[in-house]
């Protein structure tokens, strides 16, 4: 197995986010890269740098308004008298069926779902190369590799077609799935992050060619709150092509693996030609977010179970924050996946 990574992904270095109304140090920091690189190398993966595929694969998922916003908003924000050092919205619309605002402040509120995705001078380039990493990993699978891991940072699964949120700007898993659709009639996305992949769900919610499945902490009292409930099944042509498996807070290896088995059964019934695993490692018992209690050995078993699908697979990094075991958890998943896929 190989992995894809670009050094440009280190540049994004957000300082703060608001949590329960209080400013906190932002946990989505470049140090995550060091831990994840060590984990991928310890699993024996060879490193590949991504090619630059341009804006086309990104624009296949995200709207042109949104991409222009991400590319230009920091410079525009800095022209505002007494503006903050990072772009953080202070107003949010109560609906989206109105004319598009011209001001930088209005557009920030329109395109940023929360205060956990501050934009600095380097954010666009890091997000761009995170997306190119996912694209290259998927292209390698289309070209014949059985499994490729994309070390995408910043993560992506909370990003909608025109909306950033939850540390995410471009939806890397969706970009990878769209690329896999060039070669496969149907693709499944299996999201095992602590948090529901609301952006990924939203992007594909009315499509039947991509099945979205997410295992996550129950959002009734946990981010992202408004999405990720078991009743959400898709709409229109996508009805029945979305499955959410929320878990009670504090759930460990057993309940997670039981949910994973249910997810795998649904994926088998969908009969996709390829798989994207949105790999969050923040379900770990020692992760700073503390929502679930999966062990390091549990991640190895999650990898083993995912590999039993026997599909060409692109693994895209999502969450998982700085703790002593972050690299070990990635090594465990990749080793478990590789042992079952061999």
In this predicted structure, what is the pLDDT of residue 23? 87
pLDDT of residue 186 exceeding 70:
yes
The answer to which of 24-28, 152-156, 169-173 has the lowest mean pLDDT is: 24-28
pLDDT tens by residue, 112-168: 999 999 999 999 999 999 999 999 999 999 999 999 999 999 999 999 999 999 999
CATH class assigned to 2-58+120-341: alpha beta
* Alpha carbon distance 167, 164 (integer Å): 8
What is the residue-averaged pLDDT of the chain?
97
Mean pLDDT of all residues in 236-263: 98
* Alpha carbon distance 327, 111 (integer Å): 32
Q: List the chain domain ranges.
A: 2-58+120-341
Is 158 one of the annotated active-site residues of the chain?
yes
The pair of structure tokens assigned to 50 is 């991504």
Indicate the pLDDT class of residue 342, thresholds 50, 70 and 90: low
Burial class of 31 by CB neighbour count within 10 A (0 to 12, 13 to 18, 19+): middle
Catalytic residue among 136, 158, 216, 305: 158
Residues 6+ apart with CB under 8 A from 219: 196, 225, 226, 227, 228, 229, 246
Q: Are 66 and 100 in contact (CB under 8 A)?
A: no
pLDDT of residue 67 exceeding 80:
yes
* Alpha carbon distance 337, 342 (integer Å): 9
In this predicted structure, what is the pLDDT of residue 143? 98
pTM for the full model?
A: 0.97
């Amino acid at each position: 197995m190989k992995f894809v990574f670009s050094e440009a992904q280190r540049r994004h270095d957000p300082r703060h986010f608001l949590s329960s109304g209080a400013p906190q140090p932002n946990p989505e920091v470049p140090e995550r890269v060091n831990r994840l690189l060590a984990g991928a190398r310890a699993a024996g993966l060879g490193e590949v740098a991504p090619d630059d595929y341009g804006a086309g694969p990104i624009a296949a998922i995200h709207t042109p308004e949104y991409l222009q916003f991400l590319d230009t908003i920091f410079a525009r924000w800095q022209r505002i008298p007494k503006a903050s050092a990072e772009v953080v919205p202070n107003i949010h619309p109560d609906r989206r069926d109105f004319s598009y605002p011209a001001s930088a402040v209005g557009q920030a509120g329109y395109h940023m779902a929360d205060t956990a995705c501050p934009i600095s001078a380097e954010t666009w380039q890091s997000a761009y190369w995170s997306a190119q990493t996912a694209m290259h990993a998927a292209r390698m699978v289309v070209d014949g590799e059985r499994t490729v891991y994309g070390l995408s940072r910043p993560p992506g699964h909370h990003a909608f077609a025109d909306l950033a949120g939850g540390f995410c700007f471009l939806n890397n898993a969706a970009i990878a799935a769209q690329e896999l659709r060039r070669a496969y009639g149907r693709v499944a996305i299996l999201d095992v992050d602590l948090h529901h992949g609301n952006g990924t769900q939203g992007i594909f919610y009315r499509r039947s060619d991509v099945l979205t499945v997410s295992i996550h902490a129950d959002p009734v009292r946990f981010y992202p709150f408004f999405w990720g409930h078991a009743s959400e099944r898709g709409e229109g042509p996508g009805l029945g092509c979305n499955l959410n498996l929320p878990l009670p807070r504090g759930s460990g290896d057993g309940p997670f693996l039981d949910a994973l088995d249910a997810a795998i059964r649904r994926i088998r019934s969908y009969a996709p030609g390829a798989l994207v695993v949105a790999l969050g490692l923040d379900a770990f018992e020692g992760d700073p977010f503390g929502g679930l209690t999966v062990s390091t050995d549990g991640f190895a078993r999650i990898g083993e179970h995912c590999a039993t699908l026997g599909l060409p697979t692109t693994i895209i990094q999502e969450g998982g924050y700085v703790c002593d075991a972050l690299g070990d958890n990635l090594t465990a998943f990749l080793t478990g996946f590789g042992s079952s896929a061999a």
